Structure 1
């Protein structure tokens, strides 16, 4: 009986795990300057794209778990980066709105993607496009099975 399929070198999941860890480490230093964690940065990017949205929409846009999102938003509100406001039409809903400090941070964050990419000089723009397309397939397939 062969156990080739159990060797780490043959595992897609392990490669994705290692890649995810490497990328997370690459973001640490640039995000430290903004006093943000990576999940907080993801929330900020979503809000910079579209501000004044419901928590449900923010969860959908970021794919961050609802329980984790609640904690992230609370910490970000404590940092005065955003406000959590009751929806005018439906008081049960909460809307997230960037503060002036949160909006200003966008200017400070503009160079983060290039700082992170500089840490992966072997990845040409073509590779990045191909990798993102392949990862979209993986994410799409796993979301369809849920």
Structure 2
């Protein structure tokens, strides 16, 4: 059965690639004292400055059970604040602190360092991002259709 060969699967090269690419981020993030998931949170907050946990979870495709302990650790490190909305106590707003905002400058070199460490051109990076995002969008749309 050729179809069941590992080399013929879509999932395996994507899984392995994700792990390998992420491993290139780790030494850079260690210098900043961030884990990879914390870096993803910071990327969103550097764009948005503050938003509710639900919105953050949607953007990162993470559930609140995964996100809450992560955000608690980040709050303990004074990178973010968590504040319940007065109008609806169930809604928790995540905001950057000054220390969190200050990390942005340190992180600004990461994309270029990743490009170099992976030995990719800007065109190759853009192609990979476009393909990955297109596939992710298709899967998200299929899931949306199935849930309705």
TM-score (norm 2): 0.91
Residue of structure 2 in register with 1:88 after alignment: 86
Tell me, which stretches of 5 or more residues in structure 2 are unaligned?
144-148
Q: Name the SS of the counterpart of 2:94 in structure 1.
A: strand
Equivalenced residue count is: 143
Q: Which has the higher helix share?
A: 2
Q: CA RMSD in A?
A: 1.2
Residue of structure 1 in register with 2:127 after alignment: 130
CA displacement 1:38-83 (0-9 Å, x = unmatched): 1100000000000121111111222122211111101101111111
**Quick check: 2:79–2:96 contact (8 Å CA) kept in 1?**
yes
User: Are 1:143 and 2:140 matched, yes or no?
Assistant: yes
For the residues of structure 2 that align with 1:89 and 1:51, how far apart are their CA atoms? 20
For the residues of structure 2 that align with 1:89 and 1:61, how far apart are their CA atoms? 23
**Quick check: 2:115–2:125 contact (8 Å CA) kept in 1?**
no
Give the 4+ runs in structure 1 shifted more than 4 A: none
Q: Choose the corresponding residue for 2:20, options 22, 39, 62.
A: 22
Tell me, which stretches of 5 or more residues in structure 1 are unaligned?
none
Moved more, 38-47 or 108-117: 108-117
TM-score (norm 1): 0.92
